Amino acid sequence: MKKLYGLMAAGVLLAAPAFAQNISVTTNQTAAPTTGGKVNVCANADAGFANVAGLKLTFTFPSGWTIAPPDPTDPTTFDDAFVTDKAAPTNALKAVKYDPTANSLTVGLVASKNKSGAGVIGCFDLVAGAAAAAGPVGVAVEANDKDTNTVALTTTGGTLLGAGPAATTTTTTTTTTGPAATTATTTATTGVSVCPDVAAKTGQLSVGALTAKTGDTLKIPVIVDPGLVGFAAGKITLTYDPKVFMFASSDPMDPTADLDTSGAVLASPLPAVNANTPGTLIVGLVSSKNSKAGGTLFTIPLKVIGNGATRSEITLAAELNDKDTNTVNATLGNGVVTIGDCTAGPAPTTTTTTTTTGPATSGTCPDVAAKTGQLSIGALSAAAGQKVNIPVIVDPGLVGFAAGKITLTYDPKVFSFVSSDPSDATADLDTSGAVLASPLPAVNANTPGTLVVGLVSSKNSKAGGTLFTIPLVVNAAQTAPTRSEITLAAELNDKDTNTVNATLGNGVVTIGTCGAGTTTTTGTTTTTTGVTVPPGGPKSGDADQNSTVDVADVREAIKILFGLNTNAASKAAADVNGDGTVDLVDVRILLQTVVKKG
């Protein structure tokens, strides 16, 4: 069978053999359709579906049926018409071509890793016209593994019923009314106090009033007032009486095991907990985004070990910063835990105001300029020997790009890149932030001090967020405290291979506890450009024929791959391995070539 992605050669519907099929077509149709009615058509894989990284599925269907553009404002784009499901190759790059004259839909999926197992590959909707005909829904398939070897798959089609009379649906609405039930409970508590009065302090960060008994494990909440927003990182210190409370982690090797940040004040924060000193818990949280609302910042457990009825205070100290490392001030409250039977009621409340400030200047760390931009990393903290997930953050104002080559430069004496899979540098690259839809990734980590990340998607970005995270490990021998910079360079293109400009920030990693503040400066506008090709005609790989070889050419090669660009000169340039066919091999070679230029 011809290699996948010499793609738009005419597909031939394969006859269904007598043995079990690998891919079958099903529909949700149960009756003849009405005009404008939709039928959901799905491609399904059985247990014989194995080791597939690339798929070309060509669906054919009877006349009178159409596919509506998912975005009415862009009637020529149908990528979202086919919705992938769990059996599709993971994080596959997708391209879809709808041909209304041929009554066909061609779907291309390309991933960097093989996928196996039964399930739904993906589905699309057919819309019935007034003359929607009955007949077969066929599917032709070409498949390859991640090394571009052909994967033999067999297929069987489905069937559509033709147009029929409109169906009628009658909805009956029943409204029930009646008197509301009211229950009132009044409780009066009297008695003689056996507990000390401990002042409960309110603030924008507080713990509040809690109750427990000896032996209880209490989840201590740090609560953020709705008026305190705009911070992305915090160092929160809880101080308590070690004769009354004890911190006991469910995992002695990991004090963060019981730290719960699900209150979502901060988005997916990177946590750290120092519980080395009895009576003190230091919690560090770093997110890529500023907080937007109040709520529970985190909870952390303390076990009550003191005997007898009493009240005990938990105090707070805090250092907060926004994603650009600016100090965020807050008033601080405390917590009061009532243990046992304190029958005289709650302690009197005294409101005091404490303002947090950034760390005091100590001169122990250099001031490293934190640069803001539409692409940036922000402020992070770590300890020697610790792995840090480095985020590349896209500002909400930067949209409309579909491909990027991002270069991170760092001090190799401070950081190292260590992949969990030595044979695959993309193993720990996390693109789940969904700025780009299912991007095809590549990572060049061959040069210590430099990481080059390539991402290519079939769709333009529509929002900001975390483009990706990639881990660096702080070298165990690194002396602390200090600060170290991570710089960014970028080349961005949209899905039509046009350059997208962006301002670039950087990242500053604080290792240990620094006294000095961090200066904030503005970013620098950077125009994304490729590498100029010498005169004399398009170079191999210059698929868009503009005398540069860059991420735009990867996008153009994918268009050729899926039959969206049929220009002969572009095809010749995209055939980088010279085998006469533009296929998955060429796309990968081209992406790797661009990334390896560093």
CA distances from 396 to 81, 175, 380, 526 (A): 26, 45, 20, 17
Give the pLDDT score at 186. Answer: 33
- Which stretch, 160-174, 385-399, 574-588, has highest mean pLDDT? 385-399
b or e along 75-97 (b: 16 or more beta carbons within 10 Å of the residue's beta carbon)? eebbbbbbebeebbbebbbbbbb
CATH number at residue 278: 2.60.40.680
The answer to whether residue 325 sits within a structural domain is yes
> For residue 551, what pLDDT band results from cuts at 50, 70 and 90?
low
Task: Give 233's strand partners.
Answer: 286, 321
> For residue 126, what pLDDT band results from cuts at 50, 70 and 90?
very high
Q: Would you put residue 546 in left (φ > 0), alpha (ψ -120 to 50) or beta?
A: alpha
Tokens 């705009």, residue? 230
Whether residue 354 contacts residue 508, with contact meaning beta carbons closer than 8 Å, is answered with no
Give the pLDDT score at 467. Answer: 94
Give 474's Cβ-side CA count (13 Å radius): 25
**Domain shared by 506 and 552, yes or no:** no
- 247: closest CA among 215, 223, 217, 271? 217
CA distances from 322 to 150, 233, 512 (A): 51, 6, 19
The answer to whether residue 355 sits within a structural domain is no
Rounded to whole angstroms, the Cα distance separating 157 from 523 reads: 56
- Which stretch, 79-88, 324-333, 580-589, has highest mean pLDDT? 79-88
Residue 132: count of CB within 10 angstroms of its CB: 27
Residue 413: count of CB within 10 angstroms of its CB: 12
Report the pLDDT averaged over residues 350-366.
Answer: 45
Give the pLDDT score at 162. Answer: 87
Verdict on whether the full-model pTM lies above 0.75: no
Give the pLDDT score at 488. Answer: 92
**Domain shared by 501 and 412, yes or no:** yes
Whether residue 377 contacts residue 391, with contact meaning beta carbons closer than 8 Å, is answered with yes
**Domain shared by 383 and 510, yes or no:** yes
Structure tokens at 449: 């001090």
**Domain shared by 509 and 560, yes or no:** no
Report the pLDDT averaged over residues 317-337.
Answer: 85
Bigger pLDDT: 43 vs 110: 43
Rg of the chain (C-alpha set): 30
**What letter does residue 189 receive in the DSSP assignment?**
-
Structure tokens at 361: 């200047």
The answer to whether residue 560 sits within a structural domain is yes
The answer to whether residue 360 sits within a structural domain is no
* pLDDT reading at 360 higher than 50: no
> For residue 38, what pLDDT band results from cuts at 50, 70 and 90?
very high
Q: What share of the chain is helix, strand, coil (3-state, %, to 5)?
A: 5, 35, 55
Contacts of 188 by beta carbon, 8 Å cutoff, 6+ apart: none
**What letter does residue 514 receive in the DSSP assignment?**
-
Rounded to whole angstroms, the Cα distance separating 455 from 439 reads: 6
**pLDDT (tens digit, 9 = 90+) per residue, 444-458?**
888 899 998 888 877
The answer to whether residue 434 sits within a structural domain is yes
Per DSSP bridges, beta strands 502-504 and 450-456 are unpaired
Judged by average pLDDT, the poorest of 242-251, 392-401, 503-512, 531-540 is 531-540
For residue 371, give the amino acid letter. K
Contacts of 94 by beta carbon, 8 Å cutoff, 6+ apart: 79, 82, 84, 107, 108, 109, 437, 438, 458
Rounded to whole angstroms, the Cα distance separating 379 from 374 reads: 15
Give the pLDDT score at 472. Answer: 95
Before 481, cis peptide (omega within 30)? yes
> What is the CA angle 472-473-476, rounded to 5?
160
Contacts of 110 by beta carbon, 8 Å cutoff, 6+ apart: 5, 53, 54, 89, 92, 93, 440, 558, 561, 584, 587
Judged by average pLDDT, the poorest of 18-22, 120-124, 564-568 is 18-22
**Residues counted in the chain:** 598
Give the pLDDT score at 19. Answer: 37
**Domain shared by 500 and 588, yes or no:** no
Task: Give 443's strand partners.
Answer: 453
* pLDDT reading at 485 higher than 80: yes
Rounded to whole angstroms, the Cα distance separating 329 from 348 reads: 27
**Domain shared by 500 and 545, yes or no:** no
Residue 224: count of CB within 10 angstroms of its CB: 25
* Mean pLDDT for the chain overall: 78
Bigger pLDDT: 278 vs 357: 278
Phi, psi of 45 (to 5 degrees): -105, 140
Give 331's Cβ-side CA count (13 Å radius): 11
**pLDDT (tens digit, 9 = 90+) per residue, 213-262?**
888 889 999 999 888 999 988 889 999 998 889 997 888 777 888 899 88
* pLDDT reading at 37 higher than 80: yes
Give the pLDDT score at 3. Answer: 32
Among the three residues 483, 500, 527, which one is the final residue of a domain in this structure?
Answer: 527
Terminal C-alpha separation, the chain? 36
Whether residue 524 contacts residue 504, with contact meaning beta carbons closer than 8 Å, is answered with yes
Give the pLDDT score at 165. Answer: 43
CATH number at residue 541: 1.10.1330
Domain tally for the chain? 4
* pLDDT reading at 278 higher than 60: yes
Among the three residues 492, 527, 562, which one is the final residue of a domain in this structure?
Answer: 527
Residue 209 belongs to what domain range?
205-339
* pLDDT reading at 506 higher than 70: yes
Bigger pLDDT: 196 vs 598: 196
Give the pLDDT score at 274. Answer: 84
> For residue 584, what pLDDT band results from cuts at 50, 70 and 90?
low
> For residue 479, what pLDDT band results from cuts at 50, 70 and 90?
confident
What percent of the chain has a predicted confidence (pLDDT) above 90?
A: 23
**Domain shared by 419 and 437, yes or no:** yes
- Which stretch, 149-158, 255-264, 289-298, has highest mean pLDDT? 289-298
* pLDDT reading at 534 higher than 50: no
Tokens 């997708």, residue? 94
**Domain shared by 429 and 540, yes or no:** no
> For residue 581, what pLDDT band results from cuts at 50, 70 and 90?
confident
Rounded to whole angstroms, the Cα distance separating 258 from 250 reads: 7
Which contacts (CB < 8 Å, 24+ apart) does range 569-572 have?
A: 569/538, 569/545, 570/543, 570/544, 570/545, 572/538
The answer to whether residue 587 sits within a structural domain is yes
Report the pLDDT averaged over residues 342-362.
Answer: 42
**Domain shared by 470 and 563, yes or no:** no
Residue 343: count of CB within 10 angstroms of its CB: 13
The answer to whether residue 249 sits within a structural domain is yes
Among the three residues 504, 527, 550, which one is the final residue of a domain in this structure?
Answer: 527
Bigger pLDDT: 81 vs 286: 81
Give the pLDDT score at 528. Answer: 45
> For residue 393, what pLDDT band results from cuts at 50, 70 and 90?
very high
The answer to whether residue 18 sits within a structural domain is no
> For residue 515, what pLDDT band results from cuts at 50, 70 and 90?
low
> For residue 596, what pLDDT band results from cuts at 50, 70 and 90?
low
